[in-house]
Chains A and B, each alone.
Chain A
Amino acid sequence: MSHAPTGAAPEAQVPEWPMPRAAGCPFDPPPGLRELTAEKPLAKVRIWDGSAHWIVTGHAAQRALLSDPRVSVDERLPGFPHWNEGMAAGLAYRPRSVFNSDAPEHSRYRRIMTGPFTFKRVEALRPTIQKITDDLIDKMLAGPNPADLVEALALPLPTLMISELLGVPYEDHEFFQEYASRGIAHNVSAEESGRNFMALNEYLVRLVEQKAAEPADDALSDIAARVTAGDLTVPEAAMMGTGLLIAGHETSANMIGLATVALLEHPDQLAVLRDTDDPKVVAGAVEELLRYLGIIHGGQRRIAKEDIEIGGELIRAGEGIVVELFSANRDADVFPEPDLLDLHRANARHHNAFGFGIHQCVGQQFARVELQVVYGTLFRRIPTLRLAKSLDEIVFKHDRLAYGVYSLPVTWG
């Protein structure tokens, strides 16, 4: 529901969010947002249903709010700034999960999910990730030239890995990719969102029941065992599986596709990766690309449970908060010359690309290993890699909650 703005500007003058990026600057935040928050780390914007909310762009302000227990992700609270009509309508059927619960309930869900993603366990997957990456590159090089890098590598690698980790049959990938990508469009109607959710949910419910009956060595079987033990309901377990499946492949796929475009546009930076075999340099490059590329760009959604003073403004209890993580990664107070892609940047890993606070990404160490392997391999194995179309012919996912490229025609040799 829309609610009265508290800032100085009358509601009609509050600018609309999301805002477009500038033509020809596919890697930079929208100029309108920069203008709006030039003086302060937060401002007011209007979202799809006409309601006004705070948008927060400053790095320090984001970290303060994201780790403040007065700031909630409880989407059932009145005034919550939902992503789109579909998400708002989904309140009726979406169970509790890490995504929409606060501490201490949040930690109950989170600790059921985190086991497979510890630093040691994901490091142990590195040889498998390397093998799949090499196989996919071999296959691409043996096939037609030019090729679509999204189809050849960016999408299948994370999809194969998350399928294997969760124990979801890879044969079903077209089905779940289709529903995953539909669910994250900016503009989803209530009916469509409901249909998407139900289709994925039914699929996961069946899988969870199957894993409970015949456990295998995978994460969904561990989750199913918690259902059998009475710690989780079947809908909660299915929601967990859906969340991991969607969060686990689309994001990494976008990071691979978008980073490749950015590096091909910055040959001096690409050379850093092409010419090194030092894992520290590669790891640093991954952090800088996470910082520089705004994969998660629509603003994470929160609501204030109490009045909060921040950045010279007062956020009142019940007001919505949109945390635009990408903008914080371009905050000049933290990152000197923030719009410069510099793979040797010393403090790149202070980015907010994985969020901050208790909801910070569950899969981040896993994503890091995937990206380290791909970035460390692709440009060394194909030093002549280049775009097969001009930059302005490439279609970016402006309309999606996760930014990236739909396809990426590349050529080599």
Chain B
Amino acid sequence: MKVTVEQDRCVAAGQCAATAPDVFDQRDEDGVVVLLTDDPAAERADDARHAAAVCPALAIHIEE
């Protein structure tokens, strides 16, 4: 799995950090997404997929 994020599109809704906190964090000053790992461990992969699905800005992409 390879995870990428588009910070320009991010609207800091916090959905990814709430859904997959081991994969995504947010910048302190404005909440924009920060990718913690682009290759999450197998047991975190579902959370990452879920985060991509709930991102309101469609800013998270996953290649399987």
A: residues with CB less than 8 A from B are 66-67, 107, 110-112, 114-115, 117-120, 122, 349-350, 354-362, 364-365, 368
Structural contact, A111 and B12, CB atoms closer than 8 A: yes
Structural contact, B12 and A110, CB atoms closer than 8 A: yes
Structural contact, B26 and A119, CB atoms closer than 8 A: yes
**In the assembly, what is the distance between CA of A362 and CA of B57, in Å?**
12
Interface residues of B, dominant DSSP: loop
Residues of B within 8 A of A112 (CB): 30
Structural contact, A364 and B26, CB atoms closer than 8 A: no
Residues of B within 8 A of A356 (CB): 56
B36 in the interface (beta carbon within 8 A): no
Residues of B within 8 A of A365 (CB): 13-14, 18
**In the assembly, what is the distance between CA of A280 and CA of B59, in Å?**
26
Other-chain residue from B8, B28, B31, B54 in contact with A350 (beta carbon distance below 8 A): B54
**In the assembly, what is the distance between CA of A319 and CA of B30, in Å?**
34
Q: Contact string, B32-60, partner A, CB cutoff 8 A, digits 1/0?
A: 10000000000000000000001011100
- Chosen A-B contacts, 13 in total, with CB atoms closer than 8 Å, are A67-B57, A67-B58, A111-B31, A114-B11, A114-B30, A115-B28, A118-B12, A119-B18, A119-B21, A120-B26, A350-B54, A356-B56, A360-B11
Nearest CB on A from B51, distance (A)? 11
Structural contact, B56 and A118, CB atoms closer than 8 A: no
B63 in the interface (beta carbon within 8 A): no
Nearest CB on B from A17, distance (A)? 25
Residues of A within 8 A of B15 (CB): 364
**In the assembly, what is the distance between CA of A120 and CA of B57, in Å?**
20
With known contacts A111-B32, A350-B54, A355-B56, A117–B12 Cβ distance under 8 A: yes
Other-chain residue from B14, B29, B30, B32 in contact with A364 (beta carbon distance below 8 A): B14
With known contacts A111-B32, A118-B26, A358–B57 Cβ distance under 8 A: yes
B17 in the interface (beta carbon within 8 A): yes
Structural contact, A360 and B30, CB atoms closer than 8 A: no
**In the assembly, what is the distance between CA of A112 and CA of B31, in Å?**
10
Residues of B within 8 A of A360 (CB): 11, 13, 56-57
Other-chain residue from B11, B18, B29 in contact with A110 (beta carbon distance below 8 A): B11
Nearest CB on A from B41, distance (A)? 20
With known contacts A111-B30, A111-B32, A118–B14 Cβ distance under 8 A: yes
Other-chain residue from B11, B17, B30 in contact with A120 (beta carbon distance below 8 A): B17
Minimum CB distance partner of B13 in chain A: A360
